A and B are shown apart, each in its own frame.
Chain A
Amino acid sequence: MKMQYHPDDATLLGFANATLERNFAVLVACHLRHCPRCRQRLRQAEQLGAELMQRLQPAEVSADCKQALFDRLDESTKLDPAERSATVTAQQHEPLIPALLQHWPEQDFDTVPWKRIAPGIQQHKIDLGSSNLSLLRIAPGTCMPSHGHEGSELTMILRGSYSDEIGRFQPGDVADLDDEIEHQPIADRDEPCICLVATDAPLRFNSWVPRLMQGLVFSFD
């Protein structure tokens, strides 16, 4: 997969220091799985994090902290985490990437329970708890309403392609947009375009008709 558009370095830095909301983190992880260039940058961003940590003024650690830790060195790692600590538990992490997107290049998206939200546009919301992640299926040649953003929007192409003022986006490509960019994507004509969209604020549409869509496409319910 040859990708031409990547997440902004600022976004990769945010992922490296765990400041991206879950929806953005999931989308970036889907891209990174298939992008050696961005994996390399992610590692550098983590290395930078470690270097910055080592340049902090060391804090004073209480005398019994070390003893408490050494007393625990012999405890089994299999011990129930809840018994070890009431405040911090070593949680079993579910995979960051939801099952539907784990193998997105080969995934059959026809079986997804799509909902029609506008002529030529279908949506499927992926439940991530508090943050917003949607799949959009855009019919060939469909023109999305021109819009800007109050916050960030990350879009990754899974199938097909679309073109806008920035360029032509193909599978794996990420459009990393902020509040200064307005764009009007048009799905290319050969096949439907399926993309993954994460937002953290409502889109800002430039005409009244799409405003009706606003609540439908990216509602924060």
Chain B
Amino acid sequence: MNEISSKLMDGIETQQDWSKVLDRIAAERDRQQFSALYDHFAPLLKSYLISRGAGAAIAEELLQETLLQVWHRAHQFNAQRGNAATWIYRVARNKYYDYLRHQRLADRPPPEPELSEPDSAPKAERELESELDGQLLNNTLQQLPSRQAQVLYMSYYQGKSHAEIAQSMEIPLGSVKSTLRLAFEKLRSCLGGAR
């Protein structure tokens, strides 16, 4: 077990189709569906926000802001353009960026939405975006060499810049980047739309 896999849950629970849930929330303003979505995502969002550096109270406020936006903008979600979890992740990431910038703690902007939108490719190709082999991803994550797992952890979960990772691991900046590149190369093949 390396550092990252010890942080992971054992396996991943049965994948609910959150895209369908979002569709029903959009179409029917279905609070029961939203409640299920909250029960699944709120503890994960809180965990994510705390690992990025938010205190518990701020994390709860930000997760509320995130899920409130999900509720109000569910109609903007398009399952053909990616999966629901990625959409929710982007909202949370952007809320945390807003918070850091508002507090003048950091100015590290996320991509604008149009950069994350798939290009006008044929439908079959676009659907690949949401395809993912979860089991393969688990296995690949658990088999990552510990340095790759650690750099990935610091980048995604702790939100450290490459320079901050280099400083805290006491390795050259170039090694941080090559280590991240190697990890991504392995993980990319488990993600939808990989080429």
A residues engaging B (CB < 8 A)? 8-11, 13-22, 25, 29, 32-33, 36, 39-62, 65-66, 68-70, 72-73, 77, 85, 87-91, 95-97, 129-131, 151-152, 178-181, 200
Q: Chain B interface secondary structure, helix, strand, loop or mixed?
A: helix
B67 contact set on A, CB distance < 8 A? 69
Interface contact B59-A59, CB-CB below 8 Å: yes
Cross-chain contact of B8 among A33, A55, A200 (Cβ < 8 A): A55
Given contacts A49-B89, A58-B44, A65-B42, contact A88 B95 (CB under 8 A): yes
Cross-chain contact of B31 among A14, A52, A73, A180 (Cβ < 8 A): A73
Assembly CA distance A77 to B107 (angstroms) = 25
A43 contact set on B, CB distance < 8 A? 82, 86, 116, 118, 129, 193
A-B contacts, 30 listed (Cβ < 8 Å):
A9-B181, A10-B180, A10-B181, A15-B110, A16-B111, A18-B96, A18-B109, A19-B155, A39-B119, A43-B129, A46-B89, A47-B132, A51-B85, A51-B134, A52-B152, A52-B157, A53-B89, A56-B9, A60-B46, A70-B35, A88-B95, A88-B99, A89-B98, A91-B98, A96-B111, A96-B112, A129-B107, A152-B162, A179-B172, A180-B174
Cross-chain contact of A57 among B9, B60, B138 (Cβ < 8 A): B9
A17 contact set on B, CB distance < 8 A? 93, 155-156, 159
Given contacts A17-B93, A40-B195, contact A69 B98 (CB under 8 A): no
Assembly CA distance A59 to B49 (angstroms) = 10
Given contacts A22-B107, A88-B65, contact A54 B44 (CB under 8 A): yes
Interface contact B86-A50, CB-CB below 8 Å: yes
A65 contact set on B, CB distance < 8 A? 42, 60, 63-64
Interface contact B82-A8, CB-CB below 8 Å: no
B85 contact set on A, CB distance < 8 A? 50-51, 53-54
B27 contact set on A, CB distance < 8 A? none
**Closest A residue by C-beta to B100:** A18
Nearest-Cβ distance from residue B14 to partner chain A, whole angstroms: 12
A77 contact set on B, CB distance < 8 A? 72
B58 contact set on A, CB distance < 8 A? 87-88
Interface contact A87-B99, CB-CB below 8 Å: yes
Assembly CA distance A20 to B193 (angstroms) = 24
B residues engaging A (CB < 8 A)? 7-9, 12, 31, 34-35, 38, 42-48, 50-51, 58-65, 67-69, 71-72, 82-83, 85-86, 88-90, 92-99, 101-102, 107-112, 115-116, 118-119, 129, 132, 134, 137-138, 141, 152, 155-157, 159-163, 172-174, 176-178, 180-181, 184-185, 187-188, 191-195
Cross-chain contact of B7 among A16, A56, A61, A89 (Cβ < 8 A): A56
Given contacts A57-B8, A179-B173, 5 further A-B contacts (CB under 8 A): A13-B155, A44-B188, A50-B89, A61-B42, A90-B69
B72 contact set on A, CB distance < 8 A? 77
**Closest B residue by C-beta to A181:** B174
Interface contact B193-A44, CB-CB below 8 Å: yes
Interface contact B184-A18, CB-CB below 8 Å: no
Cross-chain contact of B68 among A20, A29, A56, A69 (Cβ < 8 A): A69
A179 contact set on B, CB distance < 8 A? 172-174
Interface contact B156-A11, CB-CB below 8 Å: no
Interface contact A11-B177, CB-CB below 8 Å: yes
**Closest B residue by C-beta to A75:** B68
Assembly CA distance A85 to B83 (angstroms) = 29
**Closest A residue by C-beta to B188:** A44
Assembly CA distance A64 to B177 (angstroms) = 42
Interface contact A54-B12, CB-CB below 8 Å: yes
Nearest-Cβ distance from residue B49 to partner chain A, whole angstroms: 9
Interface contact B111-A48, CB-CB below 8 Å: no
Assembly CA distance A188 to B51 (angstroms) = 47
B137 contact set on A, CB distance < 8 A? 51
